[in-house]
Amino acid sequence: MGLSDKLKTGTGDRWGKVVTHPFVTELGDDSLPWNKFQVYFDQDHLFLKDWSILLCLATAKAPDFDAARHTVEFLSLGLGGEEGLFQEAFRQRGMSAREIADLEYRPTTLAYSGFLRNIAYSGEFIDVVATLLAVEWPYLDWALRLAGAGKRPSNHYYQTWIDLHASVGMSDFVAWMRHTVDQASISPDHRKRLQQIFIDVLRYEFLFWEMAYRNEEWPV
């Protein structure tokens, strides 16, 4: 078993709770209330800014051009796919550029984004890659599960969200990150740090679903 598999196993039941959350299940069944998806969608648009920082810092810290090429290509894929869908949805909702810019971070998004920024700036290359792997791998998991089960929601955005995360580009990037983590020469203490990163990311991913599903608001 490679290190990436060990890190996944080390998250305990958190992985399963993320990839089978009611938000995911209902999205695949086409029964997810639209208002819940809109909360998620708007917050994910904000989250994408900090996700981009993570990819940019991974590129800057890459040990060679091959590694930098993989991170740049995935950044381009994300900005071309997800960001394009965001802009399409915002236009259909009649949102102005000012309204988009004024979208407010909810508590979980703000905390998760801060966590990513901290690792992006302070972590080593392998720390950033492990963080990205913990973010992207569960998405590939649930998207492939839904696609493999023949889920074809009629809602354009639900189906596109599945397609984006079950894509060949997504699969290839996750495979490259797993290989990079598996081949890393790190100390036992560093492995413990990567395991904690995996656990923390899965915690935030679960809370991100919960935020949208339960319409989290600032208490004051």
pLDDT tens readout for residues 180-219:
999 999 999 999 999 999 999 999 999 999 999 999 999 9
What percent of the chain has pLDDT above 70? 100
Q: Is the pLDDT of residue 81 over 80?
A: no
3 state SS for the chain: CCHHHHHHHCCCCHHHHHHCCHHHHHHHHCCCCHHHHHHHHHHHHHHHHHHHHHHHHHHHHCCCHHHHHHHHHHHHHHHHHHHHHHHHHHHHCCCCHHHHHCCCCCHHHHHHHHHHHHHHHHCCHHHHHHHHHHHHHHHHHHHHHHHHCCCCCCCHHHHHHHHHHCCHHHHHHHHHHHHHHHHCCCCHHHHHHHHHHHHHHHHHHHHHHHHHHCCCCCCC
Mean pLDDT over 140-168 rounds to 96
Q: Looking at residue 85, what is its pLDDT? A: 82
Contact 180, 71 (CB under 8 A): no
* Closest residue by Cα to residue 2 from 201, 184, 126: 184
Q: Quote the pTM value.
A: 0.94
Domain ranges, ordered by start, for the chain: 3-213
Q: Is the pLDDT of residue 79 over 90?
A: no
Q: Which CATH number is 3-213 given?
A: 1.20.910.10
Q: Is the pLDDT of residue 171 over 80?
A: yes
For tokens 């079950």, the residue is 166
**What is the rounded distance in angstroms from the CA atom of residue 97 to the CA atom of residue 48?**
17
How big is the chain by its Cα radius of gyration, in Å? 17
Tokens of 25: 């299940």
Mean pLDDT over 116-141 rounds to 96
